[in-house]
Structure 1
Amino acid sequence: MTEPPYLHVAAAIRRRIATGALRPGDRVPSTRQVVRDFGVAMATASRALAVLRDEGLVVTRPGSGTVVRAPTPPSRRRLPDQELDTERIVATAMAVADDEGLDAVSMRRLAAELGVGPMSLYRHVAGRDALELLLVRAVFRAHPLPEPGPPGWRAKLELVCRLQWRVFRAHPWLAELISMTRPVLIPEAMAHTEWTLQALAGLALTEAERVREALTLPALVRGLAASLAAETRAERETGQDNDEWWATLDGEVRTLLGSGRFPHLAAVQDGMPGDMDGLLEHAVARHLDGLEMRLLRATSAGGSTSR
């Protein structure tokens, strides 16, 4: 009986993993590359990669695509209770959240990771809400803003936006713990707002405008980060990275864009979907361009601005 094409492709990639040609952490061929290399249909390529994921040989990691999975580490030794502390708990929770998402973090899971009884954790952390607060504080504490920062208000605002974006990039789950309307009073996060207000101090803006700027910029970054977090979650749940997901829609996309109903979309289809890092840079630049024009008008009307 002839072997189905998808199994043939899966076997070929499996052999590369077994021989060490593809090592743990290496990216395996993407769906599009499989189509080119093996001359198969897109659906066949996707099914082949799904077989390898089901076997536990590969895993889809946001930002990295589908990579060879590292061997399962040996069971952890039981950690003596006297070696357990809040910092160790938070670090373990962050590692789980970064790798598997915030939903994977539970007291039972952390106890298993640390090799302690679940009740031991409650001597250091009051519960899930308290743990989330500690996670946010730890992230912002690890990413302080420089003092005094670069010269000029624009360079300072660009810096704080890029730093926050890197933080969300490193910890996609963070966006869901940050609220713009009901913020939790977290000193380390409040320091970012204070730093931003300081960068805006002395500009020809009203107090209300300065406050709105200090809220709008992080809201812009967080909004894009929330989209990034949704993509991360989708990749984890479906096992398909963004390229693979779009590949499954290739026929439908071509039909719609070839219908003549969407000429402008059809003209830019090669640039879609957009690069999230580039989208962040575009959004921040255009926003600050608008702020700069606002300051120029205020200056020409007799106000003052600091460069």
Structure 2
Amino acid sequence: MDGTEPPYLRIVAELRRRIAAGRLRPGDRVPSTRQIVQEWGVAMATASKVLTTLRQEGLVRAVPGIGTVVADTVTEAVAPRRPTLGPELTRERVVRAAIGIADVEGLATLSMRRIATGLGVAVMSLYRYVASKEELLMLMTDAVLAEGALPEPPPGWRAWMELAARTQWALYHRHPWLAQAASFTRPLPTPNAMVQAERAMRAVDGLGLDPVTMVHIYATVANYVRGTAINLEAEAEAAQETGMTDQEWIDSELLPRMEEFPLLSKIPPNSLDLDTLFEFGLRRLLDGLEVLIGDSDGRGDG
């Protein structure tokens, strides 16, 4: 590997070599994210992507309560990987490859060089299909937003807005990087983003609201979903780093310290996972909008 490649790929190559040479055997713990930070002097996010990549290659697995260890069966994946020629290069193929990389490794590591390596093509060949990384990000965003196309909306503004929010939440679960790419002050002018905004605003059209209030309602709900979803990637990285689920971490790290706090100690399991927080916040947000709109249609659904 040359020095122009992302730091996490160089670290992945080194750990892959250690596994191939038998210095790290099946069941051995691999360096944790903190150890990677200390040994290679990289950021925590970079260290997390190292372990994510090794896991995707099937070389390591997370063991609850222990951490990340070398997988029981080490296959030919430890051998240096060479680019292979695939189907004919197209804009759609470039975009889909970029989405796949961002889904696994995060948006921060996405680069034209990384995409070219994954596709087995020269970097400059990508520029025949996308003019820049900024254009690529816009195409990626539009492609994944197309996955969230709403079905025929249900009757009632509240049910309609709730469906839009849940559809958006599911989309962020599939593509955690999308929460970072989205913006409500400088939104990407993609066709599917405009369609989603227009359809969501139709939910409150005809209720006597002015256009500014209508777009504020849409943006408030959409931004609530996005703001909660920004935590999805960090949550996944923490689970990988510790080898524990969020509840396992709370049980081992937080509960022993709660004895002197009677209210905190009464919190039942899984009360702070992101899906639970999303559900509570969405319902309270819609309750508030119901007061603002003053419309009985859909009242009591929450």
CA contact (8 A) 1:154 1:288 kept: yes
1:77 matched to 2:92? The reply is: no
Take 1:255 and 1:283, find their aligned partners in 2: how far apart are those partners?
A: 28
Match of 1:135 among 134, 140, 143: 140
Residues 1:153 and 2:153 aligned together: no
Q: Deviations over 1:40-74 (max 9, x none)?
A: xxxxxx2xx43x1xx3x18xxxxxxxxx9987397
Please give the secondary structure, in 1, of the residue aligned with 2:77: coil
Structure 2 residue matching 1:123: 3-state secondary structure:
coil
**What are the ranges of 5 or more consecutive residues in structure 1 without an aligned counterpart?**
1-6, 12-23, 32-45, 59-67, 300-304
C-alpha distance in 2 between matches for 1:246 and 1:88: 39
Q: TM-score, normalised by structure 1?
A: 0.69
The alpha carbon displacement at 1:150 in A equals: 1.2
Question: Residues of 1 paired with 2:82 and 2:244: CA distance?
Answer: 30
Partner of 2:223: 219
Residue 257 of structure 2 is matched in structure 1 by 256
Higher helix share: 1
CA contact (8 A) 2:157 2:203 kept: yes
Deviation at 1:161, TM superposition (A): 0.2
**1:280 is aligned to 2:285:** no
Q: Post-superposition shift, 1:30?
A: 2.5
- One-letter code of the match for 1:231? E
Q: 1:132 to 1:196 in 2, by over 3 A?
A: same
Distance 1:109 1:208, change over 3 A: closer
Tell me the amino acid that sits aligned with residue 258 of structure 2: L
The amino acid across from 2:277 in the alignment is L
In structure 2, relative to structure 1, the CA distance for the partners of 1:180 and 1:239 (3 Å cut) is same
Q: Aligned ranges for residues 159-174 of structure 1 at < 5 Å?
A: 159-174=163-178
Q: Report how far residue 171 of structure 1 moved.
A: 0.1
* Number of the residue aligned with 1:19: none
Q: Which runs of 5+ in 2 are unaligned?
A: 1-23, 29-57
In 2, distance between residues paired with 1:152 and 1:254? Answer: 43
Shift of 1:213: 0.6
- Report if the CA contact (8 A) 1:156-1:199 is conserved: yes
Q: Establish whether residue 91 from structure 1 lines up as the match of residue 96 from structure 2.
A: yes
Per-residue CA shift, 1:114-173, capped at 9, x if unaligned? Answer: 111111111111122121111101111232122x41111111111100000011000000
Q: Verify the 8 A CA contact 2:147 2:171 in the aligned structure 1.
A: no
Give the equivalent residue in structure 2 for 1:102.
Answer: 107
> 1:241-297, CA deviations, whole angstroms, 9 ceiling, x for partnerless residues?
4448726x835x345322x2x3221221x435622222212211111122223334x
8 A Cα contact 1:30 1:244, kept in partner: no
CA separation in 2, counterparts of 1:117 and 1:223?
37
- Residues 277, 244 of structure 1: alpha-carbon distance in 2 compared, 3 angstrom cutoff: closer
Change in Cα spacing, 1:255 to 1:274, as seen in structure 2 (3 Å) is: closer
Change (3 A) 1:241 1:284: same
Q: Which moved more, 1:278-287 or 1:150-159?
A: 278-287
Partner of 1:286, secondary structure, is: helix
Shift in alpha-carbon separation, 1:239–1:122, aligned structure 2, 3 A: farther
Q: Is the CA contact (8 Å cut-off) linking 1:203 and 1:306 kept in structure 2?
A: no
Q: 8 Å contact 2:63–2:244 — kept in the other structure?
A: no
Of 64, 68, 71 in structure 2, the residue corresponding to residue 30 of structure 1 is: 64
The percentage of aligned residue pairs carrying the same residue is 37
Q: TM-score by structure 2 length?
A: 0.70
Find the aligned partners of 1:255 and 1:140 in 2 and give their Cα distance: 43
Deviation string 1:64-92 (CA, Å, 9 cap, x unpaired) is: xxxx9987397442247xx1111001111
Partner of 2:291: 293
> Does structure 1 retain, via aligned residues, the 8 Å contact 2:63–2:243?
no
* 1:209 CA drift (Å): 2.5
Residue-pair matches, total = 244
Task: Say if 2:117 is the partner of 1:112.
Answer: yes
From 178, 182, 185, give the equivalent of 1:181. Answer: 185
Cα distance between partner residues in 1 of 2:247 and 2:272? 15
Alignment CA distance shift 1:200-1:79 (3 Å)? same
